[in-house]
Structure 1
Amino acid sequence: MGKPRRISDLLGQALKQHGLESGFKRGAALALWPEIAGESLSQLTEAERLEDGVLYVRVCDSVVGHQLTYMREEFLRRYREKLPGAVHELRFSVGRPSKGQKKAQPEIVPLPALSSEEEDRLRALAQQMPEALQGAIYKAARAVVRRQKASPHPPCVVCGSPSPENPCKSCQRMLKDPLIEKEARRLTRRPLSGRLDGEMLLAARYLAGRDLEAQLRELLPQVVREPQLLPMLQDTARRFLQLQTGQKDVTAYRHLLPETLQSLLKEV
């Protein structure tokens, strides 16, 4: 049996299925920056955006920017502890932080509203964060998710971020990582025992799911010719569904299999 899944993990999976997880992480990364940087530095800096795991931070002058480059690894370590898998790199640029200032121009195109279900999910996930930051994280995540919904691009099949390419460029790089490839091979055998976190785990699950799906396609015609191979097909289908749902007992999820497999497999 895999290790027990935390509530935050289950909520994260639900948000990913609705294209919200990456939006929440982006908003949370921005809202967490003052805590990551500390009281003094946060007054001189502002986290602007998170793209492909890179957090862009605006600094008041080049002296502060130079100082922050020496603290980059420490900031990344803090992000790994508080928001695993969200921030992989930091980039600093000189410019006057806009704290306390009004936006020069209002948004021209209204952003789409979130459904009550989406609002509830964001609140629930925000509640898994430190209490003092929950309000800020919820507001930031809500704004990011609304912008994400307004994007003309579909969500990345791995991380859920809108992208003109699928998988997105960041995930394409991760999918070639030997560590992720190794984890994917292990997940094809033990789908409920993920050892990575955040987007690295999502990438490994994507590779493992693709591999198991290929195994199912290969086994299906063989089972038609050789019925004695049916237990092997059942086991592969079970692992495929466990990977997709995160549940050990996948009896209730047989409908997620391709129709040709559903008609052949009466149980998984």
Structure 2
Amino acid sequence: MIRLFVRHDLSEGVELELDEGQSRYLAAVMRLSAGDALAVFNGRDGEWLARVARVGKRAVRLDVEAHLRAQATGPDLDLVIALVKRARLEVIVEKAAELGARRVLPVITERTNADHTRVDRLQAIAVEASEQTGRLDVPQVLAPVKLEKLIASWEAGRKLLFCDEAGDAKPVLAAVDGGGPWAILIGPEGGFSPKERDVLRALPYATPASLGPRILRADTAAISALTLWQAAVGDWR
């Protein structure tokens, strides 16, 4: 069944008029017509069965019929990722959504060779991945900030898994200690500077961790770290 993320409140009997992009997707790409069923969710009210009521020239209208699943959220896990090339960053956001991350926070480091990205494009990728994977929420993609600014405003109580390519840290599975709010930090293709590494290792809430004996590209490192964290303390157990 097609799943669609919507921003409307959902309950039995609600009528939804979709925006132009979603209407075009259902009518022109998926070729749905009046009477066809699909699932809708908004990240708040669970998943609902909806039916196409009308296919207009510019908008598709849905009628919400029945509650399918109660709202649920995944683990409290953020992915902090240094800005990398667009194609790789898009893959990282897609896989972060598939692997259950709650938020994606792009950061600018000393060796980052990009200082901006299209957050709206990345958010759309996160929505599409959430629709396809069956999750009932969508990870939020935040605007890029400098690493030092992120550290200065760090959320109290959130532990940081600092994936350090220096090679002298514990493996991820040994470094992750207990559940609760976590964040995973992945550096740029050029790695963290010595100054950044010293600052990160001195943070009381940070745990350096190794992703093995080989230097990984940022997208591979992000996917590997998310997978290992999920296996250790996430919702894969």
Give the TM-score, by structure 2 length.
Answer: 0.26
Larger-Rg structure: 1
Higher percent of residues as strand? 2
Richer in helix (by share): 1
What's the TM-score once normalised by structure 1's chain length?
0.24
